[in-house]
Structure 1
Amino acid sequence: MVLPEGFALPPWYLLVPILVVLAGTVALLWALEPPVTDRTVLAFAPWMMLGSALHVLYQLSAYPDRFEILFATPTVYLITAIAAGLCWIVAIFLYAGGLQPTIPRFLGVAGTAFFTVFAMVIINAGWSQETFDLFWPVICVVVAGIVTAIAWVALSLWFTDVAATTSYTGALVVFGHAIDGVSTAVGYDVIGVAETVPLSALILEAGESLPTADYIGAGWLFILVKVVLALVILGLFKEFVDEAPRQARILLAGVAAVGLGPGIHNVLLFIAT
């Protein structure tokens, strides 16, 4: 089994319109050719987290039965991508009309507003069910920040050109995978959550088989693998960012989302349950 548990596609009569709208959004953005800078990638971070929040609400059974399949994996991320893409298009036209000083500002503010609303819904759900807890979620974010800082300093010292070229986009990639690794480790070693992604489960099982498992748990190996993989990807993308910065940053944003999305999902789920 390669796909994670809970992976489910909606019926074709829902999936086809979603794919058509997504393709149309991508096509329009391709035609508009908006600039993609480090600020653009950072502006998409709250949208990545929004997808996680929407999926957590699905796991909390917050949606009506007829619509809940739209917020399962992977459809929820397709819908979030459509929303982010449409907001990006609106930001482009507002900037062109002189109504916004920059495109990333509108994109980031809108994403942050949407994420905040749905995150508050999750917090309220946890509070009403008396399962609200901030201790481990805060620990996850703080430790992920420390791990990111250490990894970024190491990258800056030994591979200065890679850190300078990938810049804030690279830092987001490292943080995204750090918080995914840390939250997964906390869930596995401390809270006792079973890992649903087969490949991740294999790494955690490998960590559990090491002599260090009795002292520091099994999750440290997963954190190490995630962060090292992120740094290796940045190294491989260095020349690509130099030659085609727009395309490279878009792909790196996708790499960041693969880490940040699951990581924030774990953190929000810990808060509510």
Structure 2
Amino acid sequence: MIKDLTIVVDGVGRRAAPYGIRLAAQCDACVSAVSVLPLVPFETFAQAEIRYDLVVAAGQDAREQADAAVEAVAAAAREAGLSCETSAICTSAPLAPHRLAGFVHLSDIVVIEQADDTAPKPADAYLEALLYEGARPVLVVPYIQEAPPRLTGAVVAWDGSAPAARALSDALPLLRRTARVELVSVTDEPVPEATRWRAIRHLARHGIEAVFDVIPGGLPVGEALLSHVADRGADLLVMGAYGHSRLREAILGGTSRTILASMTVPVLMSR
């Protein structure tokens, strides 16, 4: 069940909060609103020879902006008849993603707005930390999203991997509310009937009626999934977050990046 839903806001994005609040209302969940606005290190101001009082004022402005962002969500949640707790994380940029990831550990799901390369916003910097350190499913809402959660159809990307399995499990509370669920594999290899049957049976045991479809290879996986979602008229995509190179900060793989750049429906990702 989804009973504790966290919405990440920054005072700039406008899609995550309305979608998250309506989803929380559908699930009878409590809302936590958290904003993250990094503070510029004091050393940066010192090198620029900026007066100390201006440094203090800049920090105060960031905190006030963070407080205003979460209070706006709290007001909207109360108007919808929901309880809402608020938190503002103001710390140096290197620490902010880790603080946020730790905060969401005690949530059932995290809602955040998709990054828009043409109009960057503070929250754009935190998705990878949420996926790789937050240990909770992340629901990414398109920056063009205006419709409320309808959950009329969901596409679940399935390749038998651990991230795909985690995403499927994390999505069960939403899939139970979805009218039409389809598991999809993008491959030129035959998918054994036993695999299809076990996947459908697994969901049936959770009260979810589903079908299993195979999309032939040809297009890159991300493009094939997005095309299939559009063809089916689905309003939710579920997938594992794939990445590599753990020797540095987490780097999302090509399929995940394609989805995140071009998504037109909310995407639930798990790692």
**TM-score computed with the length of structure 1 as normaliser:** 0.29
> Relative CO higher for 1 or 2, CA cutoff 8 Å, sep ≥ 6?
1
**TM-score computed with the length of structure 2 as normaliser:** 0.29
Q: Which protein is richer in helix relative to its size? A: 1
Q: Which protein is richer in strand relative to its size? A: 2
